[in-house]
């Protein structure tokens, strides 16, 4: 799954650690999500999108491997 978390963090000038604190996970989890190495829960996706004031669909996009 592709995402725009890194871009959204840059727009809001917040670090991975700060985002992790806001949504209740570790910095390593945010890093893994940004790299596409972690399949997050719906609740976490909603928390992240709410933090950025965006919809889940605006932040997260399925790629071809997710659709197989």
Confidence of residue 66 (pLDDT cuts 50, 70, 90): low
pLDDT digits (tens, 9 = 90+) for 9-59: 999 999 999 999 999 999 999 999 999 999 999 999 999 999 999 999 999
CA distance 20 to 66: 24
User: Is this structure's pTM higher than 0.85?
Assistant: yes
Could you say which of 1.10.3720.10, 3.40.640.10, 1.10.260.40, 3.40.50.280 is the CATH number of the domain covering 2-61?
1.10.260.40
């Amino acid at each position: 799954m592709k995402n725009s978390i890194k871009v959204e963090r840059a727009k809001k000038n917040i670090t991975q650690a700060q985002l992790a604190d806001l949504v209740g996970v570790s910095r390593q989890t945010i890093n893994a999500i940004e790299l596409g190495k972690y399949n997050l829960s719906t609740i976490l996706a909603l928390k992240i999108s709410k933090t950025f004031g965006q919809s889940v669909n605006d932040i997260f996009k399925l790629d071809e491997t997710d659709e197989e």
